[in-house]
Structure 1
């Protein structure tokens, strides 16, 4: 009996040993993972060391009271708060102190300056009027400083810095779902690593991972047009922020497209932590990584020019900052490649586009229905259209006095790029009433900046696309003037068509539609009576023009048209559009190309038609191939339609139920407003794509005078022999997919 008891105790002790062994190993492994993650963060921080020359300047200008000159420490306004320079100086000094090949490595003077500068900060606890600095900007710099050199600083000083860093926590007011929450969580996670608080670190990492998700579009809450609640956006207390189901990004509850601003930093924050935690117990799930990769490739990269340059049409107030259209680096794509094999070939192409300058192989026509934004790409050019409706606002507010003249930049903006840098830093000299693609009242003065952001008043805004070709429609009512127009665009392989109809304005002020305004990179050539000529630098009107050519892009008119061209110097300043304390006030001079149509004073039912031919040459323009294959079938306030005879594609925008000829032998009838694209082979209909810009229909009903008799999962086509017409009914997407196109093969 005693022997059995001893044996039992031995077995229990052995089992306990095994349990404790595995617990100990797990804790050791977790601790090893924590140390690995922390080291990866520090290594990345050290990679940004600015160099000894800059450190010398920081040391030389440091003052006895723990401050630096050039910073107004009393100015904590949104436009000011140059205290960020003070914080960054401390971090740079910390990097110098820890960089072995720096002459300032372990330099006691450097350490002393850091301590005195940090003491100045914690003693004063500088608080900015802009919450972002208090909960994101400054905590991010301070926690980086502690990770780099905190162990070498006096513990009491480090402890005094903690309340400032702790303003970045997942329960903070600024930690809203979407772009800010993930950044704040990242700062808190770094602080927990510094404090060796593994329990809180575990929690925060899960929060970061959980932020990668699609959210319900803000416009879905109250239904189409917000008719069910007059409060609209303002009454929505939560939700709507983050990755939309169409892979655009909303930072706030205004429906404004923020894919290339907050949406970019959101993705960057996630990728940063995906790389830090890779191959550890904290690594993110394949599902979350796949979701972020989809957003990166189908949202960010397809909104950007060739996946490399920011599209000016997708930028908001940040466009008023110097260098805002600088090319993206490949860090994010490389980080995703290190953490996942999902869609790796596409990610590698983005790396090669950004690093090696290769041409993209991807051609796409993408409509972001939750943001009313469209992008179109071919290997040689990129273009986009920005719109707004009752479901979203036109533009971000001019927060912090940035983007002060952005009133019209959502009004059917249509930028076009061959190289990606056509609009780089043009903004100080820009004419903000001559926006590419937009129809604008030419007032003597712009409205107050506080009047920039407006919700649209029309519902018929959208696009039809099969992923390769597209037609875009904008029932436009200006929210700043009593101007209205029906605007549409039709996109093909080598050109796209822009139509405008019903342009009307009652007041005694001129109205203009601008084809482009970009940097002048080339001689401007015009063709009149089929005779090309290079024009001198000037700012003047030209009559009966066939086409205009500048920097590899042709602007072709379907009939001789009067145009106005500016191809000379323009002046302005960054201060005019951005009142941040460090915005340059010096005059900027740049040569600008500007091409527009003057609709005159008080236009009534005016119209325009033009074809944009990107990536072309003078020789090709002279051949007139784009004009010969494009037919403007209709350009009225009721129907706008175009046929491409080479591609056998017909596209029509029906603002109301109507009938139109596709060809001599084919007729199309739409029973409701909508957009239709039909591909034919002779008189045979091969496929039909439809969409409902109003987002109110369950089905779209159309009729075609050709014989179609087929049933599908989401459509029925029945031939009526007596009436010699095929009646086609197509199911339309609902819920978060409302406004999405449907393509049926016949």
Structure 2
């Protein structure tokens, strides 16, 4: 990811900021986003672009002026408290960095803890952090309102530091143990920004020499996904500094090449999934950086001879609304799409969401009126709902200014669209309700289990093995030290062998199973997964699991759970981080287990209930079949360095957190075992008890070949066999998932091929005669019979997506 995720906590650097630049009576809204022109508001009019180019007459000078404003914030009204706080943040970061700088003339490095005379990966990381810290000081030097703004006494020190940075960067080798990312992306992006901010103080020959090195390592946009956008940014920024139109042509072409959907590998897929490193879901990591940097480049080139095509901006809007927004919950960007970044102390869910929100603000202001409302409404909702790390408190003046402007507008807050979304291209499903968001992370023969490169995410063992994530009003649940302290062998939703695997084991692995995916129908959904855990072990646990997402309840079924003799297996129902400030009682069948440490087993419990730390965060659990359940409450100690040993993220301090764990014990060497339980987010003990006494859900089938439930007028079924099977009025003889809802006058049907292997038509029988088709996906044809009907569904190249129809039964 971008080096801003790699910084140490007290070294935070503010880059990619939205800015305000006065141009001809209009305000150019810039930064992490696209420039828009609107009538100027009252306020300062003094430009802070480089003095020599404040009113540039060439295209390159105008681009440099705009870019300078992107970095520094332009004219800032310090009478606004939020603005002043943001400037103070820039100043504080620079003062912290400057206080520890080595004396002038020390050629071993600019900071004692970042020696530049090492070798291999250690030197590459030291060079990256050196560039970042120097950037933070240079940023304060160029930002009005800081104590360092245009300080003549600081100038010579910065120039000498830049020279040493370049000297060590110029000697960067191409050895395999020196990360290409630092050589081609992270250091060049810092170096070009530093050169811009110091451009008036640099001799032309020095500028050309520094940027010649950048060109030698990154001569053209390359790679794919976020990396393609970043390399295009490097080429564009270097070209702007040196007035090189041909290179800007090249950068524009590279950016436009990145801004389109792909059907395999890295980038944005047609369903809004974002993949990086070939088969890893990364919407919340590389995906948001892809969005942020793309928008920034589009903004930078807007109105110039290198402006990107308008359709590319529409692409970014679609990705923001349909790809990123579904993964945002009250200021958090959900962990199941953040890859190995969950193991980085500085990369919290809320920090990741702030990156997305900053891009959303810019996109919303540039968007045409007919599209502006949706994105603006989502952004306002996120701003108002995040009480953990309020967006208005971030150190980003332009973003805060835009947020305040949005809050003063008539735009109504609106959460991302509710219901179930299946992201089949990355084996992820998200189910959104007014009170909670529930996400499922799976893996298959297409999507890897988890990523653990560079010694990161070493305990991500089961985070893609049917892991479930419940987000409610406990906004700190998956932040605040969750990942280094949770028992990573017991991730909710998974069915796994007990015990701790070796660090990083089973990472990058693809399973020999394809039956993984889901189907959605409005606020209803279904996700299914055939599993082998771990995929590369002779002692693997196999079986099948399906989640039925029925509005405010989640029904979880497991079947065919099998393991070698002697291999202990459990299904993890819950592993919830508990508050250190608020008592959270836990009940089993109405009996209180108190709030202290405990480890208990229960035979055939009916229900359990955990009181949440805040209103709206209670959770109920109902067991629909007999099971042996273990419950424990314990305090756990962990370190970030336990799960991330990349030198860039070395945080060895101990953290202590309390957890409530709930597991179904399948015993040793189970042969075809099963489970069935229900999650009731937000439910009171009384509600859970009543549900258990008279469950509104009926299990129609729970076998390897067919898992199905009925609730009222809804039947949801996941067929896992090519044998003909019938359940709840649905007949199929292929691996297909189906939801049917019957109301007084309509029959709504949704169908998908979760295995993504059907390359032709299938036939689904319905126990209803259809009078007429109200609406239907072009892939569906209806063939009525005397008392039944057959749906002929073309699934060629459907890639696991849902096809649906609304029918009028006779």
Question: What's the TM-score, normalizing by structure 1?
Answer: 0.85
Task: Assess if the C-alpha contact under 8 Å between 1:523 and 1:534 holds in 2.
Answer: no
Structure 1 residue matching 2:561: 3-state secondary structure: strand
- The one of 615, 618, 623 equivalent to 2:690 is 623
Q: Partner residue of 1:414?
A: 468
Distance 2:163 2:781 in 1: 75
Query: How far did 1:243 drift?
Result: 1.0
Structure 1 residue matching 2:198: 3-state secondary structure: helix
Q: Partner residue of 2:497?
A: 441
Q: Partner residue of 1:457?
A: 512
- The one of 189, 208, 227 equivalent to 1:159 is 208
- The one of 209, 212, 216 equivalent to 2:256 is 209
Query: How far did 1:164 drift?
Result: 3.2
Query: How far did 1:625 drift?
Result: 7.8
Query: How far did 1:600 drift?
Result: 1.1
Task: Assess if the C-alpha contact under 8 Å between 2:225 and 2:266 holds in 1.
Answer: yes
Deviations 1:206-241 (A, max 9, x none): 432332101122xxxxxxxxxxxxxxxxxxxxxx32
If asked which structure has higher relative contact order (CA below 8 Å, sep 6+), I would say: 2
Tell whether 2:38 aligns with 1:38.
Answer: no
Query: How far did 1:394 drift?
Result: 2.0
Structure 2 residue matching 1:383: 3-state secondary structure: strand
Query: How far did 1:438 drift?
Result: 0.7
Distance 1:616 1:367 in 2: 25
Query: How far did 1:460 drift?
Result: 1.5
Q: Partner residue of 1:577?
A: 643
Q: Partner residue of 2:796?
A: 734
Distance 2:741 2:71 in 1: 54
- The one of 108, 115, 132 equivalent to 1:72 is 115
Structure 1 residue matching 2:103: 3-state secondary structure: coil
Tell whether 2:753 aligns with 1:692.
Answer: yes
Structure 2 residue matching 1:82: 3-state secondary structure: helix
1:497-508 matches, cutoff 5 A: 497-508=555-566
- The one of 563, 573, 577 equivalent to 1:519 is 577
Q: Partner residue of 1:428?
A: 484
Query: How far did 1:92 drift?
Result: 2.8
Query: How far did 1:350 drift?
Result: 2.1
Segment drifting more, 668-677 vs 494-503: 668-677
Residues 281, 385 of structure 1: alpha-carbon distance in 2 compared, 3 angstrom cutoff: same
Residues 513, 246 of structure 1: alpha-carbon distance in 2 compared, 3 angstrom cutoff: same
Query: How far did 1:52 drift?
Result: 4.1
Deviations 1:384-429 (A, max 9, x none): 1111222232222x22111112222111111111134311131111
Residues 431, 118 of structure 1: alpha-carbon distance in 2 compared, 3 angstrom cutoff: same
Distance 1:30 1:60 in 2: 36
Point out the structure with max Rg over C-alpha.
1
Distance 2:414 2:620 in 1: 21
Q: Partner residue of 1:237?
A: none
- The one of 560, 576, 589 equivalent to 2:656 is 589
Distance 1:395 1:320 in 2: 12
Residues 79, 576 of structure 1: alpha-carbon distance in 2 compared, 3 angstrom cutoff: farther
1:77-226 matches, cutoff 5 A: 77-78=120-121, 81-125=125-169, 127=172, 129-167=178-216, 169=218, 171=220, 175-217=222-264
Query: How far did 1:270 drift?
Result: 1.0
Task: Assess if the C-alpha contact under 8 Å between 2:565 and 2:670 holds in 1.
Answer: no
Structure 2 residue matching 1:78: 3-state secondary structure: helix
Give unpaired runs (5+ residues) of structure 2.
1-54, 74-85, 386-412, 613-617
Structure 2 residue matching 1:388: 3-state secondary structure: coil
1:109-508 matches, cutoff 5 A: 109-125=153-169, 127=172, 129-167=178-216, 169=218, 171=220, 175-217=222-264, 240-253=265-278, 255-305=279-329, 308-327=331-350, 328-329=353-354, 330-341=357-368, 343-357=371-385, 360=415, 362-396=417-451, 398-419=452-473, 420-424=475-479, 425-443=481-499, 445-449=500-504, 451-478=506-533, 479-481=535-537, 482-508=540-566
- The one of 715, 725, 731 equivalent to 1:650 is 715
Tell whether 2:629 aligns with 1:601.
Answer: no
Task: Assess if the C-alpha contact under 8 Å between 1:168 and 1:187 holds in 2.
Answer: no
Q: Partner residue of 2:17?
A: none
Task: Assess if the C-alpha contact under 8 Å between 2:448 and 2:507 holds in 1.
Answer: no
Structure 1 residue matching 2:770: 3-state secondary structure: coil
Residues 628, 171 of structure 1: alpha-carbon distance in 2 compared, 3 angstrom cutoff: same
Q: CA RMSD in A?
A: 2.6
Residues 326, 167 of structure 1: alpha-carbon distance in 2 compared, 3 angstrom cutoff: farther
Distance 1:630 1:741 in 2: 23
Distance 1:542 1:107 in 2: 69
Distance 1:595 1:528 in 2: 11
Structure 1 residue matching 2:425: 3-state secondary structure: coil
Query: How far did 1:532 drift?
Result: 5.7
Residues 492, 506 of structure 1: alpha-carbon distance in 2 compared, 3 angstrom cutoff: same
Residues 78, 346 of structure 1: alpha-carbon distance in 2 compared, 3 angstrom cutoff: farther
Deviations 1:67-113 (A, max 9, x none): 22111323444366223332233223323333443343333331121
Alignment: residue pair count: 679
Task: Assess if the C-alpha contact under 8 Å between 1:434 and 1:514 holds in 2.
Answer: yes
Structure 1 residue matching 2:514: 3-state secondary structure: coil
Distance 1:103 1:717 in 2: 72
Distance 2:470 2:598 in 1: 23
Give unpaired runs (5+ residues) of structure 1.
1-28, 218-239
Distance 1:506 1:70 in 2: 50
Structure 1 residue matching 2:287: 3-state secondary structure: helix
Distance 1:447 1:143 in 2: 41
